[in-house]
Amino acid sequence: MKSLNAKLYKYSKTILTTKDLALIWEETNKNNLKAKISYYVKKGVLVKIRRGIFSKDNHYDERELASSMYLPSYISFETVLRDSGVIFQHYDSIFVACQWSKNIKIGDRTFIFRKLKDEILFNTSGIIFENNYSVATPERAFLDMIYLFPKYYFDNLEGINFEKCFEIAKIYKNGRMIKELNKYYKKYVK
């Protein structure tokens, strides 16, 4: 069991799904995997966060957790826009693009999942993978917002690269959204 524990701690992710644990431990038998997970949770080596999701301790990356709950998903919307200075409002929640709309509370953190159509969600234009999770660029998060919330107020669009926006916007196949994007472009760039 010590070698399994060592393998666990060599892994760079702070959030581990059942699939991650099966790969780390090279365990193909579901019953054996369940027994090992149960053993390590009882010993305190793994912390169960929710069904099928664990961490090595209580100091995990919340954004990594957010993007591990449902796949595919990526951090977007207000979370990215606030980080990049496009909006100034503070939100304690983490906003995630996903296949379902759902709010989940874990501890004192709320994770807000917003549904995007599969053809948008599965397209990686404007999505980067860093720190063990996928996150939208400011341009992609801006487009996600105007796609779902056309009348949303943005505090500062100076950091938005509209050339990138027009390129990424093609994946949404939404005329109304393109009109909104053109309005913002005329207001802030020309």
* Nearest of 5, 2, 6, 13 to residue 131 by alpha carbon: 13
Q: Hey, what CATH topology would domain 2-55 get?
A: Arc Repressor Mutant, subunit A (1.10.10)
Residue 40's identity, in one-letter code, is Y
Per-residue tokens: 150 = 């056309």
Q: Phi/psi at 39 (nearest 5 deg)? A: -60, -50
145-187 pLDDT per residue, tens: 999 999 999 999 999 999 999 999 999 999 999 999 999 999 8
Q: Return mean pLDDT, the chain.
A: 93
Per-residue tokens: 48 = 């169960």
| Beta bridge mates, 135 | 75, 128
For CATH 1.10.10, list the domain ranges present in the chain.
2-55
CA distance 153 to 149: 9
Other CB atoms within a 10 A radius of the CB of residue 60 amount to 19
Which position has the higher pLDDT, 98 or 7?
98
Contacts of 4 (CB under 8 A, 6+ apart): 25, 36, 40
- pLDDT of residue 3 exceeding 90, the answer is no
- pLDDT of residue 2 exceeding 60, the answer is no
52-89 pLDDT per residue, tens: 999 988 899 999 999 999 999 999 999 999 999 999 99
